[in-house]
């Protein structure tokens, strides 16, 4: 249990690593991979440009004390309040909102969905502020996290205010889809909370006490839910039929889970040239990531060896042995097959809602960017 | 500074003491005062009965992990998940929603406003869960606080989920006022966060560094805002004119501030027979309550003595001297005069929105109950 409690900062993947990959718009840290393509970069850059003015206006509406914490969190200000160049993350979720709206309803729907895109980005950042407090993560987007600078109370309160701001934006929006979008986003917040709760609870349990299904459910709640919700909100704002809203939600969820699986593989075996995450980081932290739990629950003889290694604190010499045990127990193959299956399901859902390849192209490019398939 | 950082648990007044006064419906702890009258007790009991089924249904919709924490927080379950008799607080805020709706629109408006009443109660409890984490308060409603039982992460996440649940209830409500109510409630959450932020920040500053205006603003944000919002939501659901919504918001805010002023007086000089709060508790905690800051900023010679006492940690022998210094510097008189002035303003606002005394009677009774005028 000790190693789980003493889990070092910055090793939890999911939402964080979607952020950590440098900013396409400000630097080329790692550069785009073979399938990230210029198209995803252009979509993300355009989304950031569309969303930023409304996002900043929403933050400006906060009382000064909360605005200061929020501006720092978004990278717009240094801790002392002076302006910063800013790295507010890649805007993947707002890009999904806008691109889903455009895929179904064209440029007019994209323009109408800007508030929904801002609301999703606010919710995402509210969860980052709170997750960092709970996980004691000291770094985000290459900067000190808000709680390390302002204290726990300020970070919690800024997060609370961002959730309120997100749902207020939708409550105030006269668009006919705004109420349904607000209800859906609020539901998603509940699922995100359940996912984070499951994650913190799982990390406290022993390696033999965790089932694969519950880790998959946790990953879907923590990572898939908001990506799915972003797509669903775009569809709602484009006036999509109910079944298309559901299909686009499923598309985002499956792509999100594919991302998580691949990120977990990278967290063990590394990803040459793509992320700053060193190979083995998740193993060193004794993280019960998807490939690890798949290996632990495989019934293979290597599973017992892995469980024994996970019972004791991290030892650098055991790192290769641990990675090998995960691999021998089938964790790597399972994760890669699962990721491929999830992406195939995502494509099916996308084709169902947006059958015209030309219209689906933007969402496809974003899904490929998010999963950054290095296999 | 040390005494501020080491502030004992359970001394912050405002929202907490509105809860702490025993439950009218479950026991007679302290008994109703001369002006609490049977009417307020009846209104509160009826509000609890109206709101509880919807409140429980909302909580039941949460995923199991978050439901457990929430049920415990509401006093419906013990920490081990077995049913508890329950003391979910006095339902003052939902009673204000329902009573304001009834005052303007009669029984039909009261019935239509139930979801809004539940939403306000959920928001109130979300702030309690988070405030207890930030303030390290170990006890609420005579029970161990959620964070002491489940840990910080679970308490933060349950609070996050309750905010989402509150705003979802309004987003899903087909009532024509629901969107305006949702926007108003979300705005109120931002103000509550700013109030709590100001409170935690003020307590870290020295006794000479706090202005009376900022403490009044903090108290209005922390205590007045949600009472005002509750009344405004009731008015909105009754289809009130804009100026009546504004007047009822002001009524709730002013009554809330009157409550806070009187509660602060009780925190220094005690309230024979009414609360369990011992005389001097706020002074012992070096709390910068309203009478204390009024005294510190009075310019009276006793202010300097008070400041000197507040600069050093609490000493039991100094307690009487400290209380006397606040009194001599005019803190007690100022607080009582301010409370009376705030109540008078509340009555004016009420008369503006609800001129018929018979229709205004319920809100009047609640305001008197809340302020429990023992002077």
**Residues of chain A contacting residue B186, judged by C-beta atoms under 8 Å apart:** 164-165, 167-168, 171
Percent of chain B, pLDDT > 70? 87
Question: Which residues, in sequence order, are CB contacts of A308 under 8 Å at separation 6+?
Answer: none
Q: A167 vs B156: CB contact, 8 Å cut-off?
A: no
Q: Can you tell me the mean pLDDT for B225-254? A: 98
Question: Which residues, in sequence order, are CB contacts of A11 under 8 Å at separation 6+?
Answer: A267, A281, A282, A284, A285, A287
CB A251 within 8 A of CB A363: yes
Is A214 in the B-facing interface, judged by CB distances under 8 Å? Answer: no
Mutate to test the interface with B, among A61, A129, A156 (most CBs of B within 10 A): A156
Per the model's pLDDT, the better-predicted residue between B20 and A214 turns out to be A214
CA distance B27 to chain A (A): 34
d(CA A184, CA A178) in angstroms, rounded, equals 10
Residue with the two structure tokens 């009669």: B106
Is A182 in the B-facing interface, judged by CB distances under 8 Å? Answer: yes
pLDDT at A141: 85
Q: Can you tell me the mean pLDDT for B79-101? A: 91
CB-based burial label for A243 (10 Å; 0-12, 13-18, 19+):
exposed
Q: Can you tell me the mean pLDDT for A78-87? A: 89
d(CA A281, CA A264) in angstroms, rounded, equals 10
Is A95 in the B-facing interface, judged by CB distances under 8 Å? Answer: no
Percent of chain B, pLDDT > 90? 74
pLDDT of B210-235, one tens digit each? 999 999 999 999 999 999 999 999 99
Residue A270 has pLDDT above 90, yes or no: no
Instruction: Return the exposure string of B10-40: e unless at least 16 CB atoms fall within 10 Å of the residue's CB, then b.
Output: bbbbbbbbbbbbbbbbeeeeeebbeebeeeb
Per the model's pLDDT, the better-predicted residue between A273 and B236 turns out to be B236
**Residues of chain B contacting residue A165, judged by C-beta atoms under 8 Å apart:** 186, 190
**Residues of chain A contacting residue B133, judged by C-beta atoms under 8 Å apart:** 152, 156
CB-nearest to B168 from A134, A160, A183 is A183
Q: A153 vs B194: CB contact, 8 Å cut-off?
A: no
d(CA A101, CA A108) in angstroms, rounded, equals 9
pLDDT at B276: 52
The domain ranges of chain B are 2-371
CA distance B208 to chain A (A): 21
CB-based burial label for B151 (10 Å; 0-12, 13-18, 19+):
middle
CA distance readout (Å), A46 to A59, A92, B314: 20, 11, 59
Q: Count other C-beta atoms under 10 Å from residue B289's C-beta.
A: 28
Q: Can you tell me the mean pLDDT for B165-188? A: 98
Question: What's the Rg (C-alpha) of chain A?
Answer: 20
Is B171 in the A-facing interface, judged by CB distances under 8 Å? Answer: yes
CB-nearest to A161 from B133, B151, B193 is B193
Is B65 in the A-facing interface, judged by CB distances under 8 Å? Answer: yes
pLDDT at A370: 84
Residue B1 has pLDDT above 50, yes or no: no
Is A189 in the B-facing interface, judged by CB distances under 8 Å? Answer: yes
**Residues of chain B contacting residue A201, judged by C-beta atoms under 8 Å apart:** 65
Per the model's pLDDT, the better-predicted residue between B31 and B181 turns out to be B181
pLDDT of A52-71, one tens digit each? 999 999 999 999 999 999 99
For the four alpha carbons of B72, B77, B78 and B79, in that order, the dihedral sign comes to negative
Locate B113 and state its tokens: 């406003």
Q: B183 vs A197: CB contact, 8 Å cut-off?
A: no
pLDDT at A4: 37
pLDDT of A153-165, one tens digit each? 999 999 999 999 9
CB-nearest to B179 from A62, A179, A191 is A179
Residue with the two structure tokens 């970069």: A41
d(CA A203, CA A135) in angstroms, rounded, equals 11
pLDDT at A23: 31
Is A41 in the B-facing interface, judged by CB distances under 8 Å? Answer: no
Residue B28 has pLDDT above 70, yes or no: no
Our CA dihedral for B190, B192, B196, B202, rounded to 10 degrees, sits at 90
Residue A16 has pLDDT above 50, yes or no: no
Residue with the two structure tokens 């992990």: B65
CB A205 within 8 A of CB B169: no
CATH number of A2-371: 1.10.600.10
Q: Can you tell me the mean pLDDT for A233-260? A: 97
Per the model's pLDDT, the better-predicted residue between A140 and B36 turns out to be A140
pLDDT at A8: 37
pLDDT of A343-369, one tens digit each? 999 999 999 999 999 999 999 999 999
Is A179 in the B-facing interface, judged by CB distances under 8 Å? Answer: yes
pLDDT of A89-125, one tens digit each? 889 999 999 999 999 999 999 999 999 999 999 999 9
Residue B18 has pLDDT above 60, yes or no: no
Is B152 in the A-facing interface, judged by CB distances under 8 Å? Answer: yes
Mutate to test the interface with B, among A69, A146, A159, A168 (most CBs of B within 10 A): A168
Average pLDDT, chain A: 88
Percent of chain A, pLDDT > 90? 74
Residue A140 DSSP label: E
Is A213 in the B-facing interface, judged by CB distances under 8 Å? Answer: no
The ipTM, to two decimals, is 0.89
pLDDT at B267: 85
Closest residue on chain A to B177 (Cα): A171
Residue among A282, A227, A293, A232 at smallest CA distance from A259: A227
CB-based burial label for A151 (10 Å; 0-12, 13-18, 19+):
middle
- Residue A86's pLDDT band (cuts 50, 70, 90): confident
- Number of residues in chain A: 375
CB-nearest to A164 from B66, B154, B163 is B163
CB-nearest to A193 from B160, B191, B198 is B160
Residue B107 has pLDDT above 70, yes or no: yes
Residue among A244, A134, A259, A119 at smallest CA distance from A189: A119
Residue B374 has pLDDT above 60, yes or no: no
Q: A200 vs B66: CB contact, 8 Å cut-off?
A: no
CB-nearest to B171 from A66, A152, A171 is A171
CA distance A5 to chain B (A): 13
**Residues of chain B contacting residue A196, judged by C-beta atoms under 8 Å apart:** 153, 157
pLDDT of A175-192, one tens digit each? 999 999 999 999 999 999
Question: Which residues, in sequence order, are CB contacts of A289 under 8 Å at separation 6+?
Answer: A13, A215, A264, A267, A268, A282
For A292, phi then psi, to 5°, come to: -65, -45
Question: Which residues, in sequence order, are CB contacts of A147 under 8 Å at separation 6+?
Answer: A129, A132, A133, A154, A155, A156
């Amino acid at each position: 249990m000790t190693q789980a409690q003493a889990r070092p900062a910055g090793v939890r993947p999911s939402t964080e690593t979607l952020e950590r990959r440098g900013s396409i718009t400000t630097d080329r840290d790692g550069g785009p991979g073979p399938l990230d393509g210029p198209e995803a970069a252009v979509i993300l850059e355009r989304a950031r440009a569309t969303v930023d003015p409304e996002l900043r206006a929403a933050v400006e509406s906060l009382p000064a004390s909360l605005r200061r914490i929020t501006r720092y969190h978004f990278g717009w200000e240094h801790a002392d309040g002076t302006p910063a160049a800013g790295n507010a993350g890649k805007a993947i979720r707002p890009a999904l909102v806008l691109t889903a709206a455009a895929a179904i309803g064209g440029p007019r729907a994209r323009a109408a969905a800007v508030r929904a895109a801002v609301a999703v980005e606010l919710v995402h950042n509210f969860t980052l502020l709170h997750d960092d407090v709970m996980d004691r993560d000291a770094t985000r987007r290459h900067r000190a996290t808000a709680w390390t600078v302002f204290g726990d109370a300020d970070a919690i309160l800024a997060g609370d205010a961002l959730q309120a701001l997100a749902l207020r934006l939708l409550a105030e929006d006269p668009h006919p889809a705004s109420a349904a979008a607000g209800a859906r986003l609020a539901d998603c917040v509940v699922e995100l909370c359940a996912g984070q709760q499951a994650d913190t609870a799982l990390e406290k349990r022993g390696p033999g006490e965790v089932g694969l299904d519950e880790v998959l459910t946790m990953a879907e709640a923590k990572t898939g839910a908001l990506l799915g919700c972003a797509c669903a909100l775009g569809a709602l704002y484009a006036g999509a039929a109910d079944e298309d809203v559901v299909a686009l939600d499923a598309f985002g969820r499956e792509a999100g889970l594919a991302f998580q699986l691949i990120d977990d593989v990278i967290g063990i075996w590394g990803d040459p040239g793509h992320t700053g995450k060193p190979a083995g980081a998740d193993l060193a932290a004794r993280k019960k990531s998807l490939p690890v739990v798949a290996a632990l629950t495989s019934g293979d003889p290597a599973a017992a060896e892995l469980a024994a290694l996970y019972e004791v604190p991290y030892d650098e010499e055991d790192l290769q042995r641990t990675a090998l045990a995960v691999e021998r127990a089938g964790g790597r193959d399972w994760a890669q097959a699962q990721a491929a299956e999830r992406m195939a399901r995502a494509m099916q859902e996308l084709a169902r809602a947006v059958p015209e390849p030309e219209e689906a192209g933007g969402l496809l490019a974003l899904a490929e960017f998010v999963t950054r398939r290095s296999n």
